[in-house]
Structure 1
Amino acid sequence: MNKRKNNGYKTQKKRHQSNKSYGKNRSALATESNKLHGKQSKTSNRRGNKKKVTVEVVCAGLSHEGKGIVQWEGRQLEVEHLLPGEKAEIAVSTSGRVVHAQLKRIITPAKDRVKPMCSYYYACGGCQLQHMNEQAQKRFKQETIQKLMRPFGKPELILTMDHPYDYRNKSHTTFGLNRERQIIGGLYAQNSHQLISMDRCLIHDPKADEIWNTMKDMMKSFKMQPYNEDTGRGFLRHVLVKVGKVSGEIMVVLVVASPIFKGKNHFVKALRKAHPEITTILMNVNNRNTSMVLGNQEKVLFGKGTITDTLCGMKFDISAKSFYQINPVQTEKLYARAIGMAQLTGKETVIDAYCGIGTIGLIASQKAGKVIGVELNKDAVRDAIHNSKRNGVKNARFYQGDAGEFMVKMAAHGEKADVVIMDPPRSGSDEAFLSSVVKLKPKRVVYVSCNPVTQARDMKYLVQNGYEVKRIQPVDMFPQTLHVESVAEIVLKK
């Protein structure tokens, strides 16, 4: 999920993973990529083995990253923001064996092309598909899943979102100084430390963006300097905002470089006055030179230090470091499909592997005989136990440890499980875990994945070892981005 758990807690700094943008002046490209019209002449420039040319091409299709595929001098190139059937002018630069292509202008636009709603789209890179209409995005993700899952059967139609914006319940923003030494806030550009100054991200919860914009304005009056990673100077590194979509509770986490926060009481009071909807404020100290957002030291400045939200009828307490699904609307659809695939009758023993804070296992407990959750991160296990008690669940137990080793021990002691629900990180599972599933021989495996590429790889192993794939359900958890989730029902052959 743009997610991923990192054992449920550590959150990576947002570094957008799409390819290079159209050029250095990304702000100019936000104005519809040179308005997508106007002629440019072909140019070439050779210096040693370096070569730059401008050529006309026709896009033949899309890569799995949503980039346009074109042919040039016998090579297949991928061009960001180009759609199938479009005739375009691209700049091709070569240096030795390295070839890079970027879009210059659209000559003949596709009917699926739309103007991105976000004015920062071409500069930011956090979203990759806003230049496609909703039907094209749906078709791209459906076809991506179908290609990956072809060896296992035809996937069902992807579950999309009625309102594909404003869905992220967690966002983090970075602050810095522009050339005029003014404080700016926003997100890092793709594959860089270039901070894009912005005041709104259309996939964030709107209230979260309002809060960090208020904080940006407050920083000057409180003489609060943004942290500079190069010099190691400054105070405020990031602000993390979590929103309970059902409860309305809001958490604000100030990620700072030093535990010494001068005027913190006045700052908290001013922030609460501007946003009385905030229910808790924390200070997280991260004084390491690292790409991790959160540090280990944490202090509650206001409220209880957690927020509560409801998912599939159950309440969950969420801390600053808790992994909780980013898009709760689509998560309910995903979990409903997953638990449906488990075909629970009230008698089954279910193992929730990679259980995190216990969300899917606790929801499954309502229809299962017994649920066993296993998770490496001890803090996540503690939260899972707490959430179990909070919801009055009596038939679920949570253990700290490696899920694969846990299942091997179960098999060695003659214990059985009817269903294994697995929801691994983007890297997928590994052979050690999958072999433990084969040893335990559950009748049914429900594989929830935020990366269908690694899911297909792992399912191949299970199929080669006595299982077959019955159903595959894609879910659009992250509209406007290239990411798609998938849940598969895998059963033991008789």
Structure 2
Amino acid sequence: MMAERRNGGKPRREEKNKTSGSVNERKRQTHSRKYDVTGGEKQIKTGSKGKNVQGKPRQAHSSQYKLNPNSKCPISHLCGGCQYVDMPYEQQLAEKQKYIDDLLSVFGPVDKIIGMENPYHYRNKVTAAFRRMKSGEIISGVYEEGTHNILPVENCYVEDEKAAAIIRTFAGLIKSFKLKIYNEDTGTGLIRHLQIRVGRKTGQIMVIIVTASPVFPSKKNLANALVTAHPEITTVVQNINMKDTSMVIGDRNQVIYGKGHIEDILCGKRFRISPGSFYQVNPEQTEVLYGKAIKYADLKKKETVIDAYCGIGTIGIAASDRAKKVIGVELNEAAVHDARVNVKMNKIQNVDIYSNDAGRFMVDVAEEGDSIDVVFMDPPRSGSTEEFMSSVITLGPKRVVYISCGPESLARDLKYMTKHGYQVIKMTPVDMFPLTRGVETVVLLTRAGTVHRG
């Protein structure tokens, strides 16, 4: 009945909820990577005449900077990506533990943070920007924090090493193929970015060439040259982004080589990753995070579960073996398609994916009198909205498992949830982003008065 009334068994397009959005839009990377160079003082020219970067004026054309010879990463003070790169890892964990304890212990007990065995080169998604120097040399690198000045990168302690090697090769091919790099001031040129996505367990690699125009001369020859240099590449895709935006990935894709997507294995399940799909950047720690979330859900194969804003279905599919029924809800049509492919690929019979706004969907479920035992929610860094949390409270699941990448917004949302009939039982921080200040936290909430066992 639920499927017939809401979806008719077919995908449908719903009007976007401007306060909620889809998982892909909420979590999509908005700029090129912030991350290591060696060498002496350099001067880099960039095109930045008065345009804005996310509402802030871009800095002037020239950026003269000094490298920090006392740091593992000489540009970490400029890039702003790895604030803890020179801090011993145990101290990083202690800093994050204290931060979470100070902020969240007022709501309930906080367990010990779970760190990584090897906290380096963990990112499975790497995005590069390019600049042509006066000498004709093509540099690839990261944006200086708060600007569009490019800092050249040779090695980065958080990026996948294969991805970094492919980026270096591509920079050379830009020059040999005489391709023009996109100029933000004039709106001319072709190559905007290069994004590499790596399936850490499958070894599959997707190369996404982001262009400012669908017209891409010699793209097949370029792809062949790239694959010849790096035969580990599984697919090469042209992504077309013609908008004046800081968003890296556009809406249109043209497959140049391979299938146009890759697959990876997470929590024992196989997932299809397309160019625009949201997929956690640290899969090793994601398995830890999801394992803890599923444990908190306390599933006994009798429960009906909602995976709100499910993206490509990772949490819900990972939990499906332990639940009676999993309902994934997602607004982004491309993500809905990938999620349904993932359900079919894993031969799962108890997961349904709906194309809908998750908050509205849960209100509909409550109005129909259907019972939901567990809701997984994984909002963006900015946190959830009162509208969404109100829909959770209206639905009244026995347990809510909240996965957060923004501790301050989590504190705000827990305050709301605990004022409206829920109590925090326990929390665990997980170090998803070593060398940075970032930390994820998984929280178990139950309806006030509910006795929790386990």
Q: Aligned equivalents of 1:386 and 1:439: distance in 2?
A: 31
The corresponding residue for 1:241 is 196
Tell me the CA shift for residue 150 of structure 1: 2.4
Tell me the CA shift for residue 154 of structure 1: 2.9
Which of 1 and 2 has higher RCO (CA within 8 Å, sep 6+)?
A: 2
For structure 2, the residue ranges without an aligned partner over 5 or more in a row are 1-21, 36-61, 450-454
Summarize the Cα distance change of 1:6–1:384 in structure 2 as closer, same or farther, 3 Å threshold.
closer
Partner of 1:341, secondary structure, is helix
Partner of 1:332, secondary structure, is helix
Answering whether residue 380 of structure 2 is matched by residue 380 of structure 1, we say no
Q: Is the 8 A contact 1:15 1:192 kept in 2?
A: no
The corresponding residue for 1:317 is 272
The corresponding residue for 1:363 is 318
Q: Aligned equivalents of 1:129 and 1:315: distance in 2?
A: 33
Q: Is the 8 A contact 2:24 2:332 kept in 1?
A: no
Q: Is the 8 A contact 1:30 1:123 kept in 2?
A: no
Q: Equivalent of 1:490, from 419, 441, 445?
A: 445
Answering whether residue 393 of structure 2 is matched by residue 393 of structure 1, we say no
Q: Equivalent of 1:345, from 300, 306, 309?
A: 300
Partner of 2:424, secondary structure, is strand
How far does the alpha carbon of each residue in 1:191-227 deviate from its partner, in whole angstroms, 9 at most, with x for none?
1111001222221100000001001111111111211
The corresponding residue for 1:354 is 309
Q: Aligned equivalents of 1:176 and 1:447: distance in 2?
A: 41
What is the count of residue pairs matched by the alignment?
A: 402
Q: Equivalent of 2:218, from 263, 267, 288?
A: 263
Q: Is the 8 A contact 1:445 1:490 kept in 2?
A: yes
Residue identity in the other structure for 1:242: R
The corresponding residue for 1:253 is 208
The corresponding residue for 2:66 is 28
Q: Aligned equivalents of 2:384 and 2:415: distance in 1?
A: 12
Q: Which has the larger radius of gyration?
A: 1
Q: Aligned equivalents of 1:459 and 1:179: distance in 2?
A: 53
Partner of 1:366, secondary structure, is helix
Q: Equivalent of 2:133, from 178, 202, 212?
A: 178
Summarize the Cα distance change of 1:157–1:357 in structure 2 as closer, same or farther, 3 Å threshold.
same
Partner of 2:305, secondary structure, is strand
Residue identity in the other structure for 1:261: F
Answering whether residue 32 of structure 2 is matched by residue 14 of structure 1, we say yes
Q: Aligned equivalents of 1:162 and 1:173: distance in 2?
A: 27
Identity over aligned residues, as a percent?
A: 48
How far does the alpha carbon of each residue in 1:144-174 deviate from its partner, in whole angstroms, 9 at most, with x for none?
1111102212311101011111100001000
Q: Aligned equivalents of 2:389 and 2:221: distance in 1?
A: 53
Partner of 2:254, secondary structure, is strand
How far does the alpha carbon of each residue in 1:8-62 deviate from its partner, in whole angstroms, 9 at most, with x for none?
6743113759xxxxxx987424222xxxxxxxxxxxxxxxxxxxxxxxxxxxxxx
The corresponding residue for 2:72 is 117
Q: Is the 8 A contact 1:172 1:241 kept in 2?
A: yes
How far does the alpha carbon of each residue in 1:388-445 deviate from its partner, in whole angstroms, 9 at most, with x for none?
0110111111111111111111111111101111011111111111111111111100
The corresponding residue for 1:417 is 372
Tell me the CA shift for residue 382 of structure 1: 1.4
Answering whether residue 386 of structure 2 is matched by residue 431 of structure 1, we say yes
For structure 1, the residue ranges without an aligned partner over 5 or more in a row are 18-23, 33-115
Answering whether residue 129 of structure 2 is matched by residue 145 of structure 1, we say no
RMSD after superposition: 1.7
- TM-score by length of structure 2 reads 0.86
Summarize the Cα distance change of 1:129–1:294 in structure 2 as closer, same or farther, 3 Å threshold.
same
Q: Aligned equivalents of 2:362 and 2:240: distance in 1?
A: 38
Q: Which moved more, 1:331-340 or 1:117-126?
A: 117-126
Tell me the CA shift for residue 122 of structure 1: 2.2
How far does the alpha carbon of each residue in 1:324-353 deviate from its partner, in whole angstroms, 9 at most, with x for none?
010000000000000000000000000111
Residue identity in the other structure for 1:363: A
Answering whether residue 231 of structure 2 is matched by residue 276 of structure 1, we say yes
- TM-score by length of structure 1 reads 0.79
Summarize the Cα distance change of 1:173–1:16 in structure 2 as closer, same or farther, 3 Å threshold.
closer
